[in-house]
Structure 1
């Protein structure tokens, strides 16, 4: 399975960026760092990323009046790099709402407190002042409200009697370096496993009138009201290593046309191919789930009885 493409945004030395980068080089890590950038073109972390062979974009520093231009350029740089997820790692800017909306659900951040405690700045001093027994860090999904998105993971760090904000921050940073790579890996895998993809296919197929799930040829599949099959889910079937759906087409001509148009997505499945069925891969880096839903519904329409077609049209 291909690795998720991640961009890291920084403002300073990039220690959390480095933790994410070095973790990404482990053989079982499900993400890769494809871009490092930020709001300060002279940030030391950018030089480190370049030395490690990672693509770097040095965007000009911006003032409030340049904000829209900066985030427009950032968005274009991310798209050119094929980025799927953004990891904020000491990026000391509040992202604008329209940027967050474009990347909704695909931006994560590490924050130096046990959220929902101590959102914003001065988290260590606030924990000490409150006489907390433990401080810590959190990784969360970024939403429009500051430090308020769903928490993906946390690590507690004991507050020592003689701690200052600086000494506590140093230990919390160690915890961040341990937590962030694991939380990011878990997050990018949440919809990339075969089980997650089957759940998504099941949701689409079972929303169609008369749909039932069963098993055939050793694969989960979906049929219409105890009758004809319209969708199979295949995962490494016959050892081919592919995660895909197999759906009907109108016949061999359409099958051949689809494969010719996009051979990276479509393929002629073993045993099913001669009958005009087509494989649609779900293990590409950028699965288009709207397109998958359309293919499943088109397949359903080819086998559904007229009375069910009428229900769907209504």
Structure 2
């Protein structure tokens, strides 16, 4: 999908204090071509300076003190506010609350945090003092996905900051804060762009295709494809990265024939199409670079298409497994 047609990801930023990282994210979002926008700034402290900064810049804000509420109640209210603002992602920027597993599950894979160390080193507090005490040559910061375990989610990006012999924790913290302001907008932009990037989409399709039995990957007419292993193995899927003049990144898979192909395309013409050079054989193209892609649908069609070319000995095992 061309950049000009891609919707910008909507981001809710959770803060508890001054909001310097929130400001870095906001001002970066106003640069040309940045793929996200700030939809909401929310805080557990109604007096947080970040809320004044956000309001002054014309951003919607939400504040709810956590005192007198259970953690689950407060998390639910914050999540509801983000959802009502139309947020696709939540970014923690100095948000001094540990999120409940229920909140993390609700927003799985869509909550990012920045931590002032080079994870997995020094999760938790006092990161700069610990790095200096250990004699490290560098501290730094990491952007990671939020999971149930504190500071243990997938690291999406890091930036190192040199430690000098005379450094104090305070001096190092000040320089790391500057690094955070550079790193966070870049990593967030990269992360929210993944659903439109061919390399990421190919990796996701590949992992699912190769999980099927006796499959090998082989290039066909310049495109990655997946087939049953062996010389006589037939192709059941192709990855199309704007091939043959197409306007999308797509997965090409087999239907049962022309009638089903026509019915599927008619039912979902915005997301499924008849691919050039393949359509006459009953193949369909599933558009991958679009908002809200259903990966379960992708897995379903990969398995359907694999079953269409798999020998009976393989499909029979799958049939038996599905009975249980």
**Smaller-chain TM-score range?**
0.7 to 0.9
Which of 245, 259, 269 aligns to 1:263? It is 269
CA separation of 1:297 and 1:198: change in aligned 2, threshold 3 A: same
Deviation of residue 242 (structure 1)? 0.7
Q: Deviations over 1:105-138 (max 9, x none)?
A: 4322222344455543444556667776654333
Structure 1 counterpart of 2:145: 141
Number of residue equivalences: 312
Q: What does 1:84-123 align with in structure 2 at a 5 Å threshold?
A: 84-123=88-127
Deviation of residue 197 (structure 1)? 1.6
- Unaligned runs of 5+ residues in structure 1 are none
Structure 2 counterpart of 1:215: 219
CA separation of 1:255 and 1:92: change in aligned 2, threshold 3 A: same
Structure 1 counterpart of 2:241: 235
Matching of residue 301 in structure 1 with residue 307 in structure 2: yes
Structure 2 counterpart of 1:19: 24
Deviation of residue 18 (structure 1)? 1.6
Q: TM-score, structure 1 length as denominator?
A: 0.83
CA RMSD across the alignment = 3.1
Matching of residue 244 in structure 1 with residue 244 in structure 2: no
Equivalents in 1 of 2:268, 2:41: separation in Å? 31
Equivalents in 1 of 2:149, 2:118: separation in Å? 17
Q: What does 1:74-223 align with in structure 2 at a 5 Å threshold?
A: 74-124=78-128, 134-151=138-155, 152-159=157-164, 161=166, 163=168, 165=170, 167-189=171-193, 192-223=196-227
- Contact kept, 8 Å, 1:128 with 1:159, in 2: the verdict is no
Which of 13, 20, 32 aligns to 1:8? It is 13
- Contact kept, 8 Å, 2:217 with 2:227, in 1: the verdict is yes
Task: Give the match's secondary structure for 1:230.
Answer: strand
Equivalents in 2 of 1:88, 1:173: separation in Å? 15
- Unaligned runs of 5+ residues in structure 2 are none
Q: TM-score, structure 2 length as denominator?
A: 0.81
Q: Deviations over 1:26-58 (max 9, x none)?
A: 34544443333222344332343344454x341
Matching of residue 285 in structure 1 with residue 321 in structure 2: no
Deviation of residue 295 (structure 1)? 0.9
- Contact kept, 8 Å, 1:139 with 1:154, in 2: the verdict is no
Equivalents in 2 of 1:132, 1:212: separation in Å? 45
Equivalents in 2 of 1:7, 1:81: separation in Å? 8
- Contact kept, 8 Å, 2:195 with 2:290, in 1: the verdict is no
- Contact kept, 8 Å, 2:145 with 2:153, in 1: the verdict is yes
CA separation of 1:138 and 1:232: change in aligned 2, threshold 3 A: closer
Equivalents in 1 of 2:70, 2:308: separation in Å? 53
Matching of residue 46 in structure 1 with residue 62 in structure 2: no
